[in-house]
Structure 1
Amino acid sequence: MAVYVALFVLIAGGAGVLTATADSPEIGFENPDFEVSEGDPIEVDGEEYVVAGVEGDDGAESSAVATIERNVTAEQSETWANESTVEVGDREWRVMITGEDPNEFTLVEELDRQAILEDDSQADNETVERDDGEYVVVTEDGESTLVPVEEYFPTPEERSYAEDDAFEYGDNTATVDNVTADQAVLVWEATETESIEIEGEAIVTIGETEFVANFPDASTVQLSSDIEGYEAQVAQIEQFQQYNSGLTRVLVLAFLSSLLLLGAAFIPSRY
């Protein structure tokens, strides 16, 4: 009985030592395509990216993330329907298109009549309707006068644009691409920021190339196009975990077997 107990203890001790001293393999790239930190440039397939941020998590590879960005110039367009209201240069305008086969449109300024009235201390804040039209009540020296709205309000500004004409629209220079009886189409080129998020130990496509990411520390990301090498490391880690799990089960079983044998040895005989 003592020999068997010693044998199981020896097995348990060996399994415990192997489990405690074995070093788990980790993902690592000896020669990554890129090893960069925040602010570093990356050129892939002729396109240049910049590392906008790296958020490693000190060993928690699954929660680590990096972001790379690049500026892309793309054509944008906008359609203005006839008689719609648009905002250009911090003012509102009405789009006016006339004719059956037009090649231009006119922007007619939309006056803020209410603001003009409120800014005039001598005028009532509302217009009045009479049988012969609309008026503004203006009071001067205690005497009120009805002024036709056509005379009181300034003449709205008008701006006409033909096809291929360009003008400032927001932060861009827009070109009149096409005008029909129903609408006008504007086009312009704008720079947009394209972002790609890279997660730890995940395969990401940048341009036309696939990379796998690794975070050796909290501020650095490695990118490697050696996908096969990465998959081989993953397989090695899985194999190690299987072996380690098996040794743990051997340790537990050997220990329980020793206790069972010791318990059986002290059971009193019935004879």
Structure 2
Amino acid sequence: MAVYAALFLLVASVAGVLTVTADSPEIGFENPDYVVSDGETVEVEGQEYVVQISEIEESGGGHGGGGGGTSLVATIERNVTVEQSEAWANGSTVQVGEQEWRVEIAGENASEFTLVEVPDRQAILEADPQADNETVARDDGEYVVVTEDDESTLVPVEEYFPTPEERSYATGDSFAYADHTVTVDGVTADQAVLVWEATETESIEVEDEGIVTLVETDLVAHFADSSTLHLSSDIEGYESQVAQIEQFEQYNSGLFRVLILGLFSVVLLLGAAFIPSRY
């Protein structure tokens, strides 16, 4: 009985030593395509990306790591140029600069449109101390009451207010609008379409061992430390390392079960040795 107990104890000891001393493999790249520090810019196929590394609350551990605490995440950003457009309907009012304008398109086969100034009549009347602040309507039209030397005169609005400014634009013409230089892309009887280029920020978040596509390149991300990101196109190498880690975890789990079973067998054998004989 003592011999069997010693044998199981030896097996359990060997399994325990192997479990404790075994080094767990970890993901790593000897020659990554890109090594980027926090805040640096990396160029991928002619496109520049800015990398920002930050910590987030960890929802689960990666390969070889435990859960809980925080984990690292990289935000990869680039500025891209996109085409934007806007349609102005015939008869609508638009704001260009500090002035309002009315869009006018003449004819079914028009190739241009006209912006007609919409004067701020209320502001003009309030700025004139001799004019009433409101126009008056008569049977023959609309008037402004102007008082001079205690004598009031009705002045037709067409004569009182300045002639509206007009600006015409044809297809292909450009002008300033809303902090952009816009180009007339097309004109129909119903509307005029304007196009311009604007810069937008494209943002991608990637966690440790995540796959990210930059331009048309697939890269696996790995944090060498809390401020350095490695990006590698060796996806097969990464998958091979993952397989090795999974195999190690299986072997380590098996050794742990051998350790428990060996210790249990030793206890069982020693316990059986002290059971009194019936004969």
Q: Choose 196-205 or 172-181, whichever is displaced more.
A: 196-205
| 1:257 Cα offset (Å) | 2.2
Deviations 1:178-229 (A, max 9, x none): 2221111222233333333333212222222221111111111101111111
Q: Choose 167-176 or 194-203, whichever is displaced more.
A: 194-203
Q: Choose 15-24 or 151-160, whichever is displaced more.
A: 151-160
* Cα distance between partner residues in 2 of 1:123 and 1:261: 115
Match of 1:247 in 2: 255
Match of 1:205 in 2: 213
Taking structure 2 as the reference length, what is the TM-score of the superposition? 0.80
From 219, 224, 231, the counterpart of 2:232:
224
Q: 1:71–1:33: structure 2 CA closer, same or farther, 3 Å change rule?
A: same
For the residue of structure 1 that corresponds to 2:238, the secondary structure is helix
Match of 2:10 in 1: 10
For the residue of structure 2 that corresponds to 1:100, the secondary structure is coil
For the residue of structure 2 that corresponds to 1:18, the secondary structure is helix
Do residues 69 (structure 1) and 77 (structure 2) align?
A: yes
Which structure 2 residues correspond to residues 58-207 of structure 1 after superposition, within 5 A? 63-113=71-121, 129-134=137-142, 149-150=157-158, 153-207=161-215
* Cα distance between partner residues in 2 of 1:69 and 1:117: 52
Q: Choose 182-191 or 24-33, whichever is displaced more.
A: 182-191
Match of 1:35 in 2: 35
| Equivalent pairs, count | 269
| 1:246 Cα offset (Å) | 0.7
Q: 1:117–1:238: structure 2 CA closer, same or farther, 3 Å change rule?
A: farther
| 1:49 Cα offset (Å) | 1.4
| 1:137 Cα offset (Å) | 6.5
Structure 2 unaligned regions, length at least 5: 64-70
Q: 1:2–1:125: structure 2 CA closer, same or farther, 3 Å change rule?
A: farther
| 1:15 Cα offset (Å) | 1.6
* Cα distance between partner residues in 1 of 2:249 and 2:127: 79
Q: 1:250–1:91: structure 2 CA closer, same or farther, 3 Å change rule?
A: farther
* Cα distance between partner residues in 1 of 2:15 and 2:209: 31
- Answer whether contact 1:96 1:105 (CA < 8 A) is retained: yes
Match of 1:23 in 2: 23
* Cα distance between partner residues in 2 of 1:30 and 1:211: 15
Counterpart of 2:236, as a letter, is: E
| 1:16 Cα offset (Å) | 1.8
| 1:133 Cα offset (Å) | 4.3
Q: 1:147–1:251: structure 2 CA closer, same or farther, 3 Å change rule?
A: farther
Match of 2:49 in 1: 50
| 1:4 Cα offset (Å) | 2.5
For the residue of structure 2 that corresponds to 1:239, the secondary structure is helix
Q: Choose 242-251 or 4-13, whichever is displaced more.
A: 4-13
Taking structure 1 as the reference length, what is the TM-score of the superposition? 0.82
**Identity in percent:** 72
Structure 1 unaligned regions, length at least 5: none
* Cα distance between partner residues in 2 of 1:120 and 1:26: 81
Deviations 1:105-147 (A, max 9, x none): 1112334455556677887766555544445667889988766
- Answer whether contact 1:56 1:220 (CA < 8 A) is retained: no
